[in-house]
Amino acid sequence: MSVKRTRRMGPLQWKWWKRQIFLLHRWLGIVLCLFFAAWFVSGIFMMYVEYPQLDKQERLSGAQALNFSTAGINAAEAVAKLSAADYECNATLREILCSPSASPAVPIIAERVRLAMLLGRPVYYVKALGTARSRGVFADNGEILEIANSTLGERVSQNFYSRLHGNSISPQVHFLGMVQTDQWTLSSSLNAHRPLLHFALEDDKRTELYVSSTTAEVVRDSSKNERVLNYFAAVTHWLYPTVLRKFPNAWAWVVDIVASLGVLLSITGLWIGWLRWKRKPKPGKPAIPYKGIMRWHYITGVLFGVVTLTWVFSGLLSINPGKYNPSRSPNSEQRQLFTGTEQPVLVDAFPLLSPRFPKTAISAELVHFNGRALYRIVNRNGRQQQLDALTGEEFIADVDVLKRLARKLLPEEDIINIDLMKNYDNYYFSRHPERGGKPLPILRVIFGDDDNTWFHIDSTSGELLEKSTSVNRVYRWLYNGLHSWDILWLWERRPLWDIAVICFSLGGFSLSLLGVVVGWRRLRQSV
């Protein structure tokens, strides 16, 4: 019987494979260090250059004053004008998807109803339950707003620009076409408005506007400076080229892979640095066993290696890999406790109340609190107020009622504490409170459940804002704390925050750039 011998790898073969592994490691190090360098520089740009968006102040200034004096139908009649056939299409970053309803004439259930003005006419914008899009119904004659065309979009753009800048004459507007997605409209929040009508204005800032094809509202703007500078900011930092970002799953995979490899490279770099450190150097020998560029790479690694690791790791967490960070949105049952209704909006509870809207109002939304129908008004100055739908009187939530309702959010758990917060803290704060993203004062309700759940409630409107668990709060520090240095004490003492972030970013950039040089030199020596 013959015995089969296993052929072992000889010394020459092992040496060849070892050399290939080192070459691969050096190439990978060069590529990743280039990514690191680009991320650090673009991060500095992002501190002062925001991705193009229509911010709150622009929305407030560009909106027309709410005037429903010519309204001939109420919200219930407007909703009745719509059916399932009006919501058959939805959009993604790449395409419009239409699924004809088996029963197109079936009435809809309104999830959200908003009152606004469109070219001087009052309109109800109705979002149906289970859909992403809103459809418009003119309040003066009940006409359904069809898909916007270039003529309508041009008029909307001119009117918006005139109000935004306080000019009676707006610049010439050019229609650039109907776009599904371009470099400045990659946010999934715009999916409900796609395709977008794209317009260019002949003003000093070379402004471009995007108008929703479904609501005929301006939903995004950008200036030439924003577009140019963002190639050095968000486009680079977020790995946001249009050709990749149009495929969300592929983009997420790319970010996951690059950031994960970056974490691995950072850890191994720190480990090698520790091994190379001569803790008991011989007399006359330096503790750092390198000279020239390599010595500087080692020093920057000691000073900024940990920061580089934490920034790359927290960047990986930005897209919530593995969905470890649970949703911060209260569920439908918890929201129902505060609205007091089984449906999102009971439109029959809202009569026509046009004469009682404040003159400063620019929009209104139909909401409920504890079974009471309310108009949530947004005024020109950004201030929100709520009016009773039956009496027109201003409504402010009762704190005692809020506390009573809060106890029902987790009925089987005990409440540890309820605080009325009048100031921000590290778990509830806004970088730009003037934009109105995080209202104050709020109630913070802390439960003693296993997840240590917190709820935040707007103490004025009674709106249930968000919830968080211990996992959310740890994730907040691992992502926002490490990546953006969202530390309230530091942020409130600007420019201290700017100085710290810029200094560490420049240190990380130097480390990365030196890594490219060192890697390239060693690679050339190995070839």
Cα angle value 449/452/455 (rounded, 5°):
105
Cα distance between residue 223 and residue 206, in whole Å: 6
Cα angle value 502/229/382 (rounded, 5°):
85
Cα angle value 175/176/177 (rounded, 5°):
95
Query: Measured between alpha carbons, how far apart are the two ends of the chain, in Å?
Result: 48
Cα distance between residue 112 and residue 25, in whole Å: 54
189, 134 Cβ separation under 8 angstroms:
no
pLDDT attached to residue 9 = 54
> Which residue matches tokens 């990380």?
508
**Among residues 491, 503, 504, 408, which one has the least CA distance to residue 457?**
408
pLDDT attached to residue 66 = 94
Cα distance between residue 70 and residue 143, in whole Å: 14
Q: What is the DSSP letter of 282?
A: P
Is 176 contained in some domain? yes
Cα angle value 37/41/43 (rounded, 5°):
115
345 lies in the same domain as 219:
no
Structural domain total, the chain? 2
Residues contacting 348, CB < 8 A, separation 6+: 76
> For the CA atoms of 151, 155, 157, 161, what is the dihedral angle to 10 degrees?
160
Q: Final residue of a domain: which of 230, 260, 292?
A: 230
23, 523 Cβ separation under 8 angstroms:
yes
CA distances from 149 to 134, 201, 212, 217 (A): 17, 17, 10, 12
125, 134 Cβ separation under 8 angstroms:
yes
Q: Final residue of a domain: which of 230, 246, 270?
A: 230
55 lies in the same domain as 185:
yes
Q: Final residue of a domain: which of 468, 490, 514?
A: 468
169 lies in the same domain as 58:
yes
**Among residues 139, 135, 240, which one has the least CA distance to residue 192?**
135
pLDDT attached to residue 1 = 46
Cα distance between residue 156 and residue 468, in whole Å: 40
pLDDT attached to residue 276 = 72
DSSP H or E run through 407: none
Cα distance between residue 228 and residue 203, in whole Å: 17
81 lies in the same domain as 196:
yes
- Supply the range of the domain harboring residue 161: 50-230
Parallel, antiparallel, or unpaired for β 196-201 and 208-212?
antiparallel
Q: Which two structure tokens, joined as six digits, stand for 254?
A: 């790319």
Is 463 contained in some domain? yes
What's the chain's length in residues? 527
Is 493 contained in some domain? no
pLDDT attached to residue 527 = 55
Residues of the chain with pLDDT under 70: 1-26, 102, 278-282, 284-286, 353-355, 523-527
Is 192 contained in some domain? yes
Is 378 contained in some domain? yes
Is 214 contained in some domain? yes
pLDDT attached to residue 152 = 96
Is 255 contained in some domain? no
345 lies in the same domain as 222:
no
CA-derived radius of gyration, the chain: 29
CA distances from 101 to 87, 88, 144 (A): 9, 6, 19
pLDDT attached to residue 26 = 66
Is 107 contained in some domain? yes
pLDDT attached to residue 285 = 67
pLDDT attached to residue 272 = 77
Amino acid letter, residue 251: W
**Among residues 227, 232, 235, which one has the least CA distance to residue 45?**
232
